[in-house]
Amino acid sequence: MKRMLMAAALSMLTLGLSACNTIQGVGRDITRTGEVLEDVTS
């Protein structure tokens, strides 16, 4: 039972950390798109 809970906690931690990287990447993409649109409209 303890091993199962530890494995579940480790899996959740891993998924949480990978989600942070994904969200950060999306934020960079949105920022870059905004910069390009700003350059085009100027």
Condensed to tens digits (0 to 9), the pLDDT of residues 2-42 reads 888 888 888 887 877 777 778 788 888 889 888 988 888 87
- C-alpha–C-alpha distance, residues 17 and 2, integer Å: 23
- C-alpha–C-alpha distance, residues 22 and 33, integer Å: 17
Give the per-residue pLDDT at 14.
Answer: 81
Give the per-residue pLDDT at 12.
Answer: 84
Helix or strand run (H / E) with residue 4: helix 2-41
Give the per-residue pLDDT at 5.
Answer: 86
Residue given tokens 């906690």 in the structure block: 9
For the chain, give the number of residues.
42
Which two structure tokens, joined as six digits, stand for 9? 């906690």
Give the per-residue pLDDT at 27.
Answer: 86
